[in-house]
Structure 1
Amino acid sequence: MKPYITLLIMLFLPAIIFSQYTQKPPLHGKNWMAITGKPLAAEAGAMIFQQGGNAVDAACAMIAATCTMWDVLSWGGETQALIYNPNTKKVIAINALGVAPTGATVDFFKSKGMAFPPEYGPLAAVTPGTPGGICYMLAEYGTMSLKQVLAPAMQLAAGYPIEAQTANSMERGKKMIKQWPYSKAVFLPHEGQQREAPEPGEIFVQKDLLETLTKMVEEEQQALENKKNRKDAIYAAYDRFYKGDIAKEFVRGAQEQGGLITMQDLAKWKPVEEEPLHVNYKGIEVYKLQQWTQGPSMLQALNILENLDLKSMGYNSARYMNTLYQVMSLAFADRDFYYGDPYFLPEEPMKGLLDKTYARQRAALINSDKSNPDIGPGDPYPFEGKTNPYTNILKQRGFTIDSTNKTIPGAIPKHDATQINAMQQKDVVRNTGTPDSAYMDRLWRGTTSVEAADKDGWVVSVTPSGGWLPACIAGHTGVGMSQRLQSFVLDTALDPFNVIEPGKRPRVTLTPTLAMKDGKPFMAFAVQGGDTQEQNLLQCFLNVVEFGMTIQEAVEASNINSDQLWLSLGGEQIKDRQPHPGSILVNSDTPDYVRSALRKMGYRLTIGERTSGPINAIYFDWKHGSFWGGSSNNGEDYGIGW
């Protein structure tokens, strides 16, 4: 091929790619938009909108429905949200993540031979957050009653035709489910038969859960009859869940099966409204939840990328992929060491981590010619006018921070002397093998996402999770317990800010996003997928902002996934979560010449047909006064607009 023809193809290829039809049609609406992980749950949001509810009402209904449908989460999980309030013109954050229960200490889990809390079962549970999160959002920012908003979920609990994905997940997990009597009664209605879980399309009934939701609604309605206002009536239902008979049965059922949660743990917990963190990327304000999530890592990545000319690299060229991979590695190295619950000491150095000058110094570490397996945590403390108190730990980890703020690789990191001594012959950080299926499952472990917007300006982005299958149900509540405790560490050397402690929140992967431009909502987007969430959301955002894709094109577009990070989920030993530097997932549509260039840079490639993640998004078209909705072609996610 002649050079000038090759040049013309390279120049026009992005336009050719982006003009292709998407596998799913884009959604359009001028009054409202409701998108989530299940078609029936999206319909729940639409029902609320049609009854006159706002975006917060609809989002709460969709969260409740997805929990009832076990869309990789349940009622005992956690909810975290970003809400744009058009009345105050501010973005607010809702922290409805549960906390470690009484007795959940480092010594407790290490005495059981674990390097991390367990993946499944009652000992994996933080206190339930989703019921409280729904009640708080609805009471403070919604317009409807709990009875109205929970009506679709209650209809689902009374019986709905279960879809194949969930039914088959129950069947695959039945060996574990049989350990827990209350779970077995719900998930395995055909015990003793060849297939013990429900069949796809079978009417799946959850009597205990329906009774729990009914009790909450009854408490609300009784409060209204007693002349309480709408808000106080919703909080009466909240109290029944966390302090009343529902709480007693939850605690009884949890402790019967070996769990640690107490009545005091439930009564003391409450959702928190917070100020979100944000950075400006080329005139766009991007908002994330605080450092109890991985959200700030996307903000750090954007700060670094702002110093680079991404368009000139070309969408998904080898140079672009290499750059993104290393930028994400830099952000994740900081995430893995510096993030944790901001309500517990030590205080995380977020001001330094989000400093633009710090980002420029981190950008200087990018190697444009080859993969860099030696990336480690930086030193944000000088950008706060402080001295890093963890220099010795970083030295133990094998990293030395010099005066130029560069991290220099050293010997085998000493995350935990006992663990390292047992693994002297193994390369803990420089794992040059291809990740196995168990690792990839932990990396991609999903949940759901909820996006809602209305014509009055309310916007909601949520990533609820927890209590996924195979879940341990607490007594006769029908409520699956969270498994989020596993996101803590048990060793200060891994992350001094995220060491388990009763009453503390683990640093989670869950990360909704809101972006504002010219003082107006620009994009609301979120995705499921464990440690890949921030990776997919970053690329989706860049697809729109840098490469001019529509929102549906952006959520379907080919992404890369990095394995150069410490897993946040799964595995009870160090070896289960160790990074795989240089291991990269690329889409099957990646040209051979790009694959070859990546291999020459030192990458080990895994090829996938769908690499976008199940992203849900809303784009605000202010020129035409309408919404564009995007729902990825990777999963069961679905949306409705009007």
Structure 2
Amino acid sequence: MKNLALFLLLSLSLHPLFAQQTQKPMLYGNSWMAITGKPMAATAGSMIFQQGGNAVDAACAMLAATCTMWDTLSWGGETQALIYNPNTKKVIAINAMGVAPTGATVAFFKAKGYSFPPEYGPLAATTPGTPGGLIYMLSKYGSMSLGQVLASAMHMAAGYAIEAQAANSMERDKELIKTWPYSKKVLLPHLGRKREAPEAGEIFIQKDLLATLTKMVEAEQAALKKGSSRQEALMAAYDRFYKGDIAKEFVRGSKEQGGLITMDDLAKWKPVEEEALSTDYKGIKVYKLKQWTQGPVLLQALNILENFDLKAMGYNSSKYIHTVYQAMNLSFADRDFYYGDPNQSPAEPMKGLLSKDYAKQRASLIQPDKNDANTGPGDPYPYEGKKNPYLNLLKSRGFNPDTTKRNFAPKHDLGNNTPKEIYEDRLWRGTTSIEAADKAGWVVSVTPSGGWLPACIAGNTGIGMSQRMQSFVLDSTLNPFNVVAPGKRPRVTLSPSLFIKDGKPLVSAAVQGGDTQDQNLLQFFLNMAEFGMNVQKATEAANFNTNQLWLSLGGTKTSDRAPKPGQILLNTNTKEEVRNELKKMGYTLSFSERTSGPINAIYFDWKHNSLQGGSSNHGEDYGIAW
């Protein structure tokens, strides 16, 4: 009886998060694992694995399926990936982000009265990156044909039972969709009725998209019949999309609706294989994409947080939330000013930004009991032995990196008054995630995006164009590295992650959700690394979001994107004492039952040579394992 009482006491003393059952079960497998944003797309990945494909093949099949389902992306969007190659033991970074088209200049957009390139429509479109990125990954690291990998997507384009989330988005946005003739034709099959979009469960048919995918597969098959190698045949499909009849119709349809993309833009664009950026956090090597994404934010935040005893603070205590919030603010302030396309000048100061010494200097700015509403970009240049050429720009914004104090607060840096619902839509917009791993050791983490609803379809291709132009700036005082120019990639939010320990994969993870992606991935990782949560609990755990950053998406005015200093989104289960302590520190609190985008992740259990999968309870994300 005495032992039972002790057991009950210990059980009650456990933090409720660690004691409770997860809302979704953990996935277990020892052969392969496929997780993504839609159940049908996860099934597409599993079918490839069952046919003998590797994790890259399966990831490509899931990418194709999710693009065909419209809700958070489509075929004209952008793709990137981190891939672990078990043969070389290296992490590969794939950059398949489209570029600004011919004519996309600051002067062009300002003449139209824009403060940023528009959110929607043909002028929001970069060149499509997803078809090229998929073919590149498949060609270099996959094992199957394009026809095999696209089979599920083509079957779906011929007609599949549409999910409620996508169908309802089409209905909700139908007035904007009607302004684009080719979008109206595809996405609103019941014009004139009360409900013009498909109903949930209705068989949704995309004849034009099916024809486009069929043309690509036909190009591959024709090349194979002529004796071409697998890689040459895949490139024949690539060329038909970017240089052939598909490209011609894409450009015609874009131009008809006022777009800028040319045949030359499509022909010149290519996916790029890059070296991933990384840092070491307590013996774990963390890999992210380069600074054309927001990925280095997570690396910078980890470098800052390494200077604090987070475990001693306790999971989601007021002190922990405050410290992580401040580290994120400092990292995002640097992102907002210093990140941009690494293949264009000027060169970003990434060596300095990722320096451990720079992180210590930034960590020293964190006040233990007060939010710093004036957090601004630092000066990383001395940490790579250079002088900052942009000090005058920073000072014009009221920032002095030597003191981190403002001399004044320019109007466009003041917090905006955008309603909460609209602001959070911009904060979380678009995107899905894909995680795949196999027994041979291939690991893939992807955060594809672009062309989300409401999307403008380019002619009779069935392909929704990207909306990523809006992530450029037109004002160099906001970010001199991310000013729009033809041929340039915008600095985007897309941000998969790979974590390596002792030379082997430990975790792969990604999440949708715009500017919140690396906020949520940071906390997910700390949930495991500092608080010992398993991968499923870590995906479901209550996160918090900072709004003290410049939004990357949405809005037509500079004030629409401005930070909201001290504003924090907390889980509704946050304890009253934590709420009160945060208010005393200067925070403005808001609450939600779900405070993270749907995180998908795979944990590699080397003790048992098995895989464990986590897929959060927020959204429609789903995984299958064997």
**What is the TM-score normalised by the length of structure 2?**
0.98
1:364 maps to a residue whose letter is S
- Contact between 2:17 and 2:541, CA under 8 Å: does it hold in 1? no
Give the Cα separation in 1 of the matches to 2:352 and 2:144: 42
SS of residue in 2 equivalent to 1:470:
coil
Alpha-carbon displacement from aligned partner over 1:355-391 (angstroms, at most 9, x marks no partner)? 0000000000111101110110000000010000011
For residues 276 and 13 of structure 1, the distance between their equivalents in structure 2, rounded to whole angstroms, comes to 42
- CA distance 1:11–1:380, change in 2 (3 Å): farther
Query: For the residues of structure 1 that align with 2:549 and 2:9, how far apart are their CA atoms?
Result: 35
SS at match of 1:118: coil
Deviations 1:243-265 (A, max 9, x none): 00000000000000000000000
Q: Secondary structure at the match of 1:291?
A: coil
Amino acid at match of 1:621: D
- Report how far residue 412 of structure 1 moved: 2.2
Contact 2:100-2:126 at 8 Å conserved across structures: yes
Counterpart of 1:410 (choices 404, 407, 412) is 407
Once the 2 structures are TM-superposed, how far is the Cα of residue 71 of structure 1 from its aligned partner?
3.2
**Aligned equivalents of 1:10 and 1:239: distance in 2?**
64
- Counterpart contact for 2:416–2:561, Cα < 8 Å: no
Could you say which residue in structure 2 is the equivalent of 1:595? 579
Q: How does 1:62-461 map to 2 (within 5 A)?
A: 62-402=62-402, 406-413=403-410, 420=411, 428-431=412-415, 436-461=420-445
- 8 Å contact from structure 1 (residues 434, 604) kept in 2: no
Quickly say closer, same or farther: Cα 1:251–1:545, change in 2 above 3 A.
Answer: same
State the partner residue of 2:5: none
Q: What SS does the aligned partner of 1:358 have? A: helix
Q: Which residue of 2 aligns with 1:3?
A: none
How do 1:49-64 and structure 2 match up within 5 A?
Answer: 49-64=49-64
2:478 counterpart of 1:494:
yes
2:299, 2:85 → 1: CA distance? 22
Tell whether the 8 Å contact from 2:26 to 2:614 is kept in structure 1 after alignment: yes
2-side partners of 1:612 and 1:568: how far apart? 18
Q: Give the letter for the 2:354 counterpart.
A: L
Q: What amino acid sits opposite 2:475 in the alignment?
A: D
Helix, strand or coil: the match of 2:185?
helix
Give the distance between the partners of 2:113 and 2:133, measured in 1 at CA.
34
- Aligned equivalents of 1:43, 1:401: Cα separation in 2: 51
Asked if the contact 1:620–1:628 (Cα under 8 Å) also holds between the matched residues in 2, the reply is yes
Tell me the distance in 1 between the aligned counterparts of 2:579 and 2:391. 38
**One-letter code aligned to 2:404:** T
Quick one: distance in 2 between partners of 1:198 and 1:11?
Answer: 50
Tell me by how many angstroms 1:435 deviates. Answer: 5.0
Secondary structure, counterpart of 1:137 in structure 2:
helix
Structure 1 residues 607-616 or 33-42, which shifts more?
A: 607-616
Q: Distance in 2 between matches of 1:105 and 1:431?
A: 28
Cα 1:10–1:274 change in 2 (3 A) is: farther
Cα distance, 1:407–1:176 mapped onto 2, change above 3 Å: same
Contact 1:71–1:448 under 8 Å retained in 2: no
Partners of 2:204 and 2:12 in 1: how far apart?
51
Does structure 1 conserve the Cα–Cα contact (< 8 Å) formed by 2:71 and 2:169?
no
* Partner secondary structure for residue 612 of structure 2: strand
Q: 2-side partners of 1:444 and 1:480: how far apart?
A: 20
Between the aligned partners of 1:11 and 1:27, the Cα distance in structure 2 is: 25
- Give the deviation of 1:447 after TM superposition: 1.0
**Pair 1:546 & 2:530 matched:** yes
Instruction: Find the aligned partners of 2:318 and 2:428 in 1 and give their Cα distance.
Output: 23
- Residues 597-630 of structure 1: CA distance to partner in whole angstroms, max 9, x if unpaired? 1111111111000112200000000001100000
Aligned pairs, how many? 619
Question: What percent of counterpart residues are identical?
Answer: 72
Give the distance between the partners of 2:9 and 2:510, measured in 1 at CA.
33
Distance (whole Å) between structure 1 residues aligned to residue 415 and residue 261 of structure 2:
37
Q: What is the one-letter code of the residue matched to 2:542?
A: S
Whether the aligned pair in 1 keeps the contact of 2:117 and 2:124 (CA below 8 Å) is yes
> Is 1:584 matched with 2:584?
no
Separation (CA, whole Å) in 1 of partners of 2:320 and 2:9: 17
Task: Quote the RMSD (CA, aligned, Å).
Answer: 1.3
Which amino acid letter does the alignment assign opposite residue 122 of structure 1? P
After superposition, what is the alpha-carbon deviation per residue over 1:561-587, rounded to whole angstroms, capped at 9, x for unaligned?
000000000012111100001000000
- Aligned mates of 2:219, 2:102 — CA distance in 1: 28
For residues 297 and 491 of structure 1, the distance between their equivalents in structure 2, rounded to whole angstroms, comes to 22
1-side partners of 2:155 and 2:122: how far apart? 28
Do 1:39 and 1:639's aligned partners in 2 also have CA atoms closer than 8 Å? Answer: yes
Aligned to 1:476: 460
Q: Which amino acid in structure 2 is aligned with residue 284 of structure 1?
A: I
Distance 1:250 1:595, change over 3 A: same
TM-score by length of 1: 0.95
The one-letter amino acid of 1:441's match is D
Q: CA deviation at 1:15?
A: 4.7
Tell me the alpha carbon deviations over residues 166-189 of structure 1, each in whole angstroms, 9 at most, x when there is no partner: 000000010000000100000100
Matched residue SS, 2:586: coil
* Distance change >3 Å, CA 412–CA 11, structure 1 → 2: farther
For residues 556 and 98 of structure 2, the distance between their equivalents in structure 1, rounded to whole angstroms, comes to 21
Say if 2:527 is the partner of 1:561: no
Tell me the SS of whatever aligns to 2:334: helix
Question: Residue 453 of structure 1: SS of its match in structure 2?
Answer: strand
String of CA shifts for 1:433-464, please: whole Å, max 9, x gaps.
58532111101113100000000000000000
Partners in 2 of 1:161 and 1:536 — Cα distance? 31
Alpha-carbon distance between aligned partners in 2 of 1:163 and 1:172, rounded to the nearest angstrom:
14
Rate the CA distance shift 1:434–1:211 in 2: closer, same or farther, 3 A. closer
Decide whether the 8 Å contact of 2:42 with 2:624 is kept in 1: yes
Q: Deviations over 1:452-499 (max 9, x none)?
A: 000000000000000000000000000000000000000110000000
Q: 1:5 — aligned with what? A: none
- 2:45 is paired with a residue whose SS is helix
Distance in 1 between the 2:134 and 2:242 partners? Answer: 13
CA distance in 2, matches of 1:122, 1:224: 36
Give the 3-state SS of the residue equivalent to 1:378 in structure 2. coil
CA contact (8 A) 1:341 1:498 kept: yes
Report the residue type matching 1:106 in the other structure.
V
Distance 1:13 1:326, change over 3 A: farther
Residue 594 of structure 2 aligns to which amino acid in structure 1?
R
- How far residue 408 of structure 1 moved from its aligned partner, in angstroms, is 1.1
Q: CA deviation at 1:301?
A: 0.2
Unaligned ranges ≥5, structure 2: 1-7
For structure 1, which runs of at least 5 residues remain unmatched after alignment? 1-7, 414-419, 421-427
Letter in 2 for 1:447: T
